[in-house]
């Protein structure tokens, strides 16, 4: 585990992204207007935000505990393959796999809520 603080890691990531924008220092920034730099940086920030949110949603969905019994009839639930969910957020689009269960008696599908994805 790294001993760097979150702020230090953010500075490191910013330096790496700046290197990407400048193509490793080979891009001439002197002819670039500030508004163009802003547009490029904000585009990077949007993509980075979406990636971080997607990673958090994936972690959260993996932490959801298995449903023990049907909330309607109390019967035993069967695990289903996770369903891919997608959302358009303020800073980009994210996708993650959401666990799902089925009650054979009620013939209904159930997805985690409450402590799950907080939407």
The region that residue 78 occupies, defined by phi over 0 for left and psi between -120 and 50 for alpha, beta otherwise, is beta
Task: Specify if 16 maps to a domain.
Answer: yes
Work out the percent of the chain whose per-residue pLDDT is above 70. 88
What was the pLDDT predicted at 34?
Answer: 93
Of the candidates 40, 57, 39, which has an alpha carbon nearest to the alpha carbon of residue 93?
A: 57
Tell me the percentage of the chain whose pLDDT exceeds 90.
28
Question: Whole-model pTM?
Answer: 0.63
The answer to whether residue 42 scores a pLDDT higher than 50 is yes
Q: What pLDDT is stored for residue 105 in this prediction?
A: 94
Residue 85, H or E segment: strand 78-89
CA 108 to chain CA mean position, Å: 27
Instruction: Show the tokens assigned to 95.
Output: 């996708």
- Any domain includes 118: no
Domain of 15 in residue numbering reads as 6-25+32-110
Q: Give pLDDT tens digits for 55-105.
A: 888 887 777 666 678 888 999 999 889 888 888 888 878 888 888 889 999
Question: Can you say whether residue 67 is alpha, beta or left, with left for phi > 0 and alpha for psi between -120 and 50 degrees?
Answer: beta
CA 83 to chain centre: 15
Residue 117 belongs to a domain: no
Over 50: is that where the pLDDT of 119 sits?
A: no
Residue 96: the pLDDT is 81
Q: Kindly state the average pLDDT of the residues 16-30.
A: 88
- Structural contact between residues 103 and 77, judged by C-beta atoms closer than 8 angstroms: yes
Residue 69, in any domain of the structure:
yes
Q: Is 111 buried (19+), middle (13-18) or exposed (0-12) by CB count in 10 A?
A: middle
The 10 Å Cβ neighbour count of residue 67 is: 19
Q: Is 115 among the domain residues?
A: no
In a domain, 71, yes or no: yes
The better pLDDT of the pair 118, 100 is held by 100
With 70 as the cut, is the pLDDT of residue 29 above it? yes
What is the domain count for the chain? Answer: 1
**Is 77 contained in some domain?**
yes
């Amino acid at each position: 585990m790294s001993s760097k603080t979150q702020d230090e890691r953010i500075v490191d990531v910013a330096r790496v992204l700046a290197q990407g924008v400048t193509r490793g220092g080979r891009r001439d920034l002197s002819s670039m207007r500030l508004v163009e730099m802003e547009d490029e940086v904000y585009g990077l920030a949007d993509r980075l935000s979406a990636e971080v949110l997607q990673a958090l949603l994936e972690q959260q969905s993996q932490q959801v505990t298995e449903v023990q019994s049907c909330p309607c009839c109390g019967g035993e639930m069967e695990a289903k393959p996770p369903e891919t969910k997608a959302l358009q957020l303020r800073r980009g689009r994210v996708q993650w796999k959401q666990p799902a269960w089925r009650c054979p008696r009620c013939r209904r599908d159930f997805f985690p809520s409450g402590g799950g994805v907080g939407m």
